[in-house]
Amino acid sequence: MQKKELLYKGKAKSVYETENPDYLIMHFRDDTSAFNGERIEQLDRKGKVNNRFNAFIMQKLSEAGIETHFEQQLTEEDVLVKRLKMIPVECVVRNYAAGSIVRRLGLTEGQALNPPTFELFFKDDGLGDPLVNESLAISLGWATQAQLDEMKKLTYQVNDVLSKMFDEGGLMLVDFKLEFGVFKDRIVLGDEFSPDGCRVWDKETKKKLDKDRFRQSLGDVIEGYEEVARRIGVPMAY
């Protein structure tokens, strides 16, 4: 499958059309952004690491019965995916408090959220991805109640599969963000799952191994991603 027209350039990935209208090619770039694109840097190996990480996770989710847009890793930085009609919300599950919920509610970072919470954010960089609720998503025609129910169910299923996988690697899956779309009337997991869109801490030391290393200028960002990859069994030899 060949890359055709550039369809969309996001902050970390570029998406291309292919000769088949049902499939797209996602290209993972080394660009790393924070604070809604205010700060952008190139981090060596990031595209390759995230492409492999994502391919590994998507295949594990698929084995667990969760339908994803992942078809096939094409090159070190390219992946073939189904073309979804994206729903413009970010689905976030939090097992522990960190990031925006700490700022919003004055919680203590690392505080357990039991059972895990589910939140929806409107995907809009200009507005800074604001928190929304299901009622608004329905009123504005972004999704139906049945679609939102399915997205929430799938997000919790992903949490069950991945929390266990990360725990076995001595890691805590603190929180993560998923995006879904519609493919032939079914809700399908899209976008990517990588340390760019989740928080992962070492279980013992609570060392941050995800994109917070970049957001908080902690250094060794990609080394953190590679450590997570190694500990959950992602094949990483280049």
- Residues that contact ligand 5GP, how many (by CB under 6 A): 14
46 binds ligand 5GP per the rule CB under 6 A: no
Give the range of 75-83, 94-102, 139-147, 219-227 binding ligand 5GP by CB under 6 A: 94-102
200 binds ligand 5GP (CB under 6 A): no
Residue nearer to ligand 5GP on the CB measure, 20 or 36: 36
215 burial level (CB within 10 Å; 0-12, 13-18, 19+): middle
Nearest approach in angstroms of CB 225 to ligand 5GP is 12
Q: Which of 31, 77, 196, 226 binds ligand 5GP (CB under 6 A)?
A: 196
Residue number with CB closer to ligand 5GP (18 or 173) = 173
- Residue selected from 31, 175, 179, 227 as contacting ligand 5GP according to rule CB under 6 A: 175
Select from 21-29, 81-89, 190-198, 218-226 the region that touches ligand 5GP (CB under 6 A).
Answer: 190-198
* Choice from 211, 213, 222, 226 touching ligand 5GP (CB under 6 A): 211
Judged by the rule CB under 6 A, the positions of this chain that interact with ligand 5GP are 90, 92, 99-101, 129, 175-177, 196-199, 211
